[in-house]
Chain A
């Protein structure tokens, strides 16, 4: 598990790598992700989070929450 902010940045990087396709007539200027989420409390009431770590649910895994993320893109 990692702090939520690192997961968000990783996901945003994932989106960026999909959309960094060079110059063209069309470009992606927004993306929306909805992913299942494992979360637990970290130091100082922070949220540690990760995507579920396997396809098989086991009795050792915490119930999944959900993360919805909307990103907006633009030219720097």
Chain B
């Protein structure tokens, strides 16, 4: 490390991200001058930076530090930032809302014990959500994936199998106009598109609508609270729900809104305050 302390190094990705945020702040500051009555206002069109740095690779991550006084042999990094418009941002970034399974690969990798090396390789390939992992598993033959990336087929297959299991991340009770309750269940792989089996306290209940990320089910009148179970292709995920208080005084405080549960594999428990008393239109 030639006498330089570890803290002088920073991850290149973090640096670029910080620069982007700094340029955004500069642009925001310049925008303020629009309101100061100047005859002309100025905005950043593009910014180029040329810096003398030393690079280092640690645990598969590129790091760098600025060159110090009298240091020779530094590398030069040239960065160009250009102003882009919102449509360009949208065109070039992943739309999380449209991802079939937006769970982060990082959290998922922890739950299925995906090793760091495989995780890093997937990250380099741009696979950052479980949805992207599934799509890659569908569209690229295993053999080709192994040949071109070196990803171990066995580990990848196990990860894909785990990614296909149903998961419940949140549940809410909503009230229809007539006061009858519906249970909204959110998660991943909640239906295979053919059959969706939801049980409350062991009894099957009506599934009003079913999508991979969300189910709407109608509990029976005697089912006021308890454990629900979603079964897809023999795999189970479960959670708990509780109906809102009927005949509550008008000024009575509403129960707090449910907190999203951390995504977990099948058979996990949900917070038991899964109800916000919302009225369906």
Residues of A near any B CB (own CB < 8 A): 3-6, 8-9, 12, 15-16, 19-20, 22-23, 27-31, 37, 39-41, 44-47, 59-76
Contact = CB atoms under 8 A, between A and B. Distances in A.
B3 to A, nearest CB: 16
Given A9-B29, A30-B45, A45 B23 contact: no
B279 interface: no
A44 B14 CA distance: 8
Contact of B26 (A8, A30, A60, A66): A8
Interface residues of B, number: 41
A68 B51 CA distance: 12
Contact of A70 (B38, B41, B45, B51): B45
A39 B29 CA distance: 21
A67 B29 contact: no
B42 A72 contact: yes
Nearest to B47: A69
Nearest to A9: B29
A75 B11 CA distance: 40
A71 B43 contact: yes
| B interface secondary structure, majority | mixed
Contacts of A29: 40
Given A19-B40, A59-B70, A44 B18 contact: yes
B49 to A, nearest CB: 6
Interface of B: 8, 10-11, 14-15, 17-19, 21-23, 25-26, 29-30, 33-35, 38-52, 65-71, 74
B41 A47 contact: no
Given A8-B44, A59-B69, A72-B45, A23 B39 contact: yes
A28 B40 contact: yes
8 contacts: A3-B22, A16-B38, A30-B45, A37-B51, A39-B51, A45-B18, A47-B15, A68-B50
B30 A67 contact: no
Given A5-B22, A16-B33, A45-B11, A62 B69 contact: yes
A8 B23 contact: yes
